Structure formats: C-alpha cells, structure tokens
Amino acid sequence: MTKVLDVLTGNPVAKAVGKQLGVPQATELRRGRTLPTGDVVLAVLEGSGATGNATREALKSLRVSPVEAVRDVPAARTTGEDGRAVPPAYSTKIGALVLDATAVATVAELEGVRAVLRPALRALGASGRVIVVGTAPELTDDPEAAAAQQALEGITRSVGKELRKGATANLVLVSTETTGAALASTLSFLLEGRSAYVSGQPWRVLGAEPGVVPADPAAPFAGRVVVVTGAARGIGAGIAEVFARDGASLVVVDIPAAGEALTKVANRLGGTALQLDITSPDAGAKIAAHVAARHGKDARIHAIIHNAGITRDKLLVNTDEDRWGSVLEVNLAAEIRINEVLLDPLVAGGLAEGGRIVGVASTSGVAGNRGQTNYAASKAGVIGLVRAEAPLVADRGITVNAVAPGFIETEMTDKIPFATREFARRFNSLSQGGKPVDVAETIAYLAAPDSGAVTGQVIRVCGQSQIGA
C-alpha cells in the first residue's frame, strides 16, 4: 500500500492510469551546478523606474549570454486559418527566462510582464526557470509603483503553480543600490539545478556588497570553517556533504547518543566530530573551543548551520510542559544562546567578520500544523530571530538567514502515516517531495562568501507547497 502512488507514476501505462485517477505526475528534477538546457532569455521592461543594469551585469559575470525575448504584442501576432489571432512563438524550447521588471511603476506597465511571459511559458523546457526581478515595494515612495511591484509577487507565485515538468518561478527584489556583483550569486543559484525544489518564493537582494567572490567557484568554502549541528544523519548529513563537496573544513556536531553515526560522517567527509548536547549552557563555548583547538588559535568560523532539532508531536490539549519545553529548548533557545557566544568578537574560535549564520525553520513555522504547536512555535521563533538579528550584525558583514523546508524525503518521513505522507509529498507545484540535498544547496547558497547582499531572509524549500507557501 505504501508504494501505490509511486507505482501509479512509474511507467507509461501506470502513469496513464494514475493521471486518470488525478494523481500528480512527478518529473525528475535537474539538480547540481547545471545550467538549463536551451537559451537563457532576457527581457528588460521599459518604464519610469530602474534600468535593469544590475541584471545585465549579473548575467555577464556568470558568463551567460542571453537572447532577446519574444513579446506578445498586437503587431507580432499572425492570423490563423480559423481567423483567430496567433501569438508569436519561440522557434525552439528555451531554458530560462529572466524578466527584469524593476522599471514597472504603473498598473498599465504590468502589461509588459504578460507580453513577455505568454510566449516564454509555452516554450519553457523541462526543469526550466522563470526569474522575475523587481523593485522591493517598501522602497518605493509612489503608491501606484509599490502596488505594481507587489503585483509581481502574485504573478510569480501563480506562474509557479502553472508550470510543469519540474520548471520553477521565483521573484528577486532589489534596490537602486543593488549591483550586478551583489545579484550574481542569487541569479546563479536560481538558474542552476541547485534551486530544484525552490519555487514561488520572493527573494530580497538589497545590499550593494556581495562579500568575497571565491577564487574557485567550484570550491567556494576552501579554507573556511563551517559548523553543522544535527549532522549525524538525514538533512544534517546532507548539509555536511554539500559543504565538504564545496571545499569546507567541516565541524559536525550532534548528541553523544549519535556519536557513532557522527564519527562516520566526519571521517567520510574529512571533518571533525564534536559530540555535544546543544542545550547545555556552555554549548557555544565548546563549539568555539573545538574550532580553536582543531583549526588553530586564530581560526574563526565562516558559517554555522543550526540544523539540530526535534519533534514531540501531540495535539495541544495533550501537550504537557516537558513535551512543550524540550522542543522549544532544542529548536530555538539553544540557537539563541550559541549565537550570542559565537558573535562575541573576543571569543577564540567564534564567528568571523563577514561570517554567516543559517537557521533551519520549517513551513510549519509559516502555516502551522495540527499536532505540532510546539514545533511550529519553535520554527516561527527561528524566523523571528533571523529578522531581528540580521540588522544587528550587518555592520560586521555578517548575514543571518534561514531555510524553511517543506516535505523532504528522509527516514523520519518514511514513518509518517501513509495518507498524510502522500498528501504532503504530492500537494505542491512540483508534485513530489524534496531531497536533503535541496535543503543543503539552499543553505550553501545563503552561506556562500559572495552572498553578502542577502540577509534577514527565510527561503522556503518546499516545491511551492500549496499550503502556507
């Protein structure tokens, strides 16, 4: 029974049956540092706002040579045999559309968005990308301009739900200060397969400084210490694997009970293991001491990834203080205390200037979830922590962000009751669950040395879940 829906999407005959039954059909997603197959199309809309220079500069720095967009305007339409107007079309499938709409300042100018999207969506290939670049509405003084820019979010989220075959749509909001260099890491992530399970999300890239551009794009964390908590298995081990792949000097952390599994992860990835209860009052000091002892007294942490977490699910009416408090302590309070220690510039082995803090929230913290009031509280708290802490450390070049995973395929999710699991797995725009690597790739992007213009953000890695996203 547990594989019924998988069977219904597994071969052509079964797929046809599944389709008749209304079972969403999953497409194998493009992952890794691979660019889309087919041309990258660039459209820069005219208007009274920005010029699109940052977008052009970012694509140029990524060595992407875009082609001109096809636009559905009356003059470009032909007449079919039935007498109906036929919109213009691309001659081949395209890999991605980058639409710079920063200049849109009126409701009427939104027509340009439709004119570009209509032919592009028809031509978009499998695992294609739609990236809309807009101006952050809160930075716009004119009410109509703010309304028009906010409309871009509704357009992008809706497009994401219309796309098929593993294609995604995302919105990147910039400011007049955003440079091409600052925008480049975000456009690179969204174009590549690293963003496979991220869709329908708004991103804010508001700073001018990108941070440090790595000498080797394939090893952006070379010579940099990265600490990952809850790294013995599941998503945490997946996070550690991606950082090791990208050249990081790893410190993996987990509870003593998971010591054997943790050691295996550390040995396999060439890192060091720290067995630690992160809820202990001296957890932050022990992490810093470990870094100084293993990597040198002058070593500093480039990034700490707060992945450790627990669930103790019950309806609230059946939740006592122990079940409530343990989840909040592990998932939220421990992170606050550890950050406080590592952010002290006088602590040996603490966080470096220009360092990165990345928390792991959850879509449960966004939308809530039945039987998870304690868990949802803790993950919503992580979101609040990110938003509050980011501006406090911005002058040190430190960024604070979080990811909010949706349904990610792990050993833990295999234990979820069948009906609940399959609903969560399929009820998103990509019609499938994500993989630990999807969370890991998003975290690595946020932690990248050249992602310094992205802070205070919570990115949902949920395939654009139909609930809360």
Report residue 221 as tokens: 């964390």
Can you tell me the distance from the alpha carbon of 213 to that of 210, in angstroms, rounded to the nearest whole number?
7
Tell me, yes or no, if 445 is annotated catalytic. no
Helix (H) or strand (E) holding 336: helix 334-342
229 in helix, strand or coil? strand
Alpha-carbon torsion, ordered 231, 232, 234, 237, to 10 deg: 50
Single-letter residue type at 15: K
For residue 226, give the nearest of 237, 216, 240, 211 by alpha carbon.
240
**How many residues comprise the chain?**
469
Sequence-distant (≥ 6) Cβ neighbours of residue 440 within 8 angstroms? 235, 238, 239, 241, 242, 243
DSSP conformation class of 29 = P
Single-letter residue type at 341: V
Sequence-distant (≥ 6) Cβ neighbours of residue 295 within 8 angstroms? 225, 249, 349
Can you tell me the distance from the alpha carbon of 129 to that of 169, in angstroms, rounded to the nearest whole number?
6
Helix (H) or strand (E) holding 44: strand 39-44
Q: What are phi and psi of 288, to 5 degrees?
A: -65, -45
Can you tell me the distance from the alpha carbon of 225 to that of 303, in angstroms, rounded to the nearest whole number?
7
- Sign (positive or negative) of CA dihedral 266, 270, 274, 278: negative
Q: Which of 90, 197, 375, 445 is catalytic?
A: 375
Contact (CB, 8 A) for 145 and 186: no
DSSP conformation class of 153 = H
Helix (H) or strand (E) holding 303: strand 301-306
Report residue 402 as tokens: 């979080």
Which residues are annotated as catalytic? Answer: 375
